[in-house]
């Protein structure tokens, strides 16, 4: 029963975040940040060489950390609340620093990369709230979709060799480990903390 309660808590947080953002936008409450890093409207591509999703979990009292390279694109619209993003990662590229653990995580007991090679996220809603930027979307992993809410932070990304501006977006997520595996693993946390770091460059 405890297992189900924790899973429900993750889904409930996403639902509550979506309801909050929807209510704010419905009533015209769109608080704007005075942030000079506000990105220009248009298509921004994700630099796969410098963008990744990292995760941390505790299994049997040990910290397990890893990352997956990310690809995708972000469409910055006017108004910015109408912006969208699609991110993707190859499940078989999970990297923890241990080849044995990498094969285990990419295998049929966890990500099952041979059957479900891609993990993706599609944003559905973006808004500025008193605590900062928030986004709600759907994470697709192992053929199933899960509603997900995340916090976004914008930081300078420098410039590319041709002097075009770059922007880094860092987002924080929490996912349920049952989305990854149905196995019972002793002392494994159900909540897996994830951070996505995206380096964006103006697209073509």
Q: What is the span of the domain harbouring residue 14?
A: 2-31+39-86+123-135+150-202
In a domain, 130, yes or no: yes
In a domain, 92, yes or no: no
Number of domains in the chain: 1
Owner of token pair 């889904």? 11
Does the global pTM surpass 0.85? no
Interatomic CA distance for residues 159 and 199, integer angstroms: 11
In a domain, 145, yes or no: no
CB 142 within 8 A of CB 112: yes
In a domain, 65, yes or no: yes
In a domain, 141, yes or no: no
Nearest to 46 by CA among 180, 171, 174, 177: 171
In a domain, 103, yes or no: no
In a domain, 169, yes or no: yes
Per-residue pLDDT of the chain (204 residues; tens, 9 = 90+): 344 444 454 455 555 555 544 444 443 333 344 454 567 889 999 999 999 999 988 766 678 899 999 999 999 888 888 889 999 999 999 999 999 999 999 999 999 999 999 999 999 888 777 777 888 999 999 999 999 988 888 877 665 666 667 889 999 999 998 999 888 777 677 888 999 999 998 876
Interatomic CA distance for residues 75 and 82, integer angstroms: 9
Rg, C-alpha atoms of the chain: 18
Burial grade of 86 (CB within 10 A; 0-12, 13-18, 19 or more): middle
In a domain, 102, yes or no: no
Interatomic CA distance for residues 25 and 63, integer angstroms: 39
CATH number, domain with residue 23: 2.40.128.110
Ramachandran region, residue 72 (left: φ > 0; alpha: ψ -120 to 50; beta: rest): left
Q: Which 3 state secondary structure label does DSSP give 102?
A: helix
């Amino acid at each position: 029963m405890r297992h189900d309660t924790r899973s429900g808590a993750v889904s409930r947080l996403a639902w509550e975040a979506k309801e909050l953002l929807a209510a704010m936008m419905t009533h015209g409450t769109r608080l704007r940040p005075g942030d000079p890093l506000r990105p220009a409207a248009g298509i921004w591509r994700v630099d796969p060489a410098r963008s990744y999703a990292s995760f941390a979990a505790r299994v049997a009292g040990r910290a397990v950390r890893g990352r997956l390279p990310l690809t995708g694109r972000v469409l910055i619209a006017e108004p910015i609340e109408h912006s969208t993003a699609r991110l993707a990662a190859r499940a078989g590229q999970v990297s923890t620093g241990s080849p044995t653990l990498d094969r285990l995580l990419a295998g049929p007991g966890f990500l099952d990369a041979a059957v479900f090679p891609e993990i993706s996220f599609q944003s559905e809603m973006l808004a500025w709230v008193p605590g900062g930027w928030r986004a709600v979307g759907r994470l697709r992993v192992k053929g199933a979709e899960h509603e997900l809410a995340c916090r976004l932070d914008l930081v300078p990304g420098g410039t590319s060799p041709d002097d075009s501006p770059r922007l880094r977006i860092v987002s924080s997520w929490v996912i349920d480990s049952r989305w990854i595996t149905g196995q019972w693993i002793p002392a494994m946390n159900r909540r897996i903390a994830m951070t996505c770091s995206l380096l964006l460059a103006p697209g073509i």
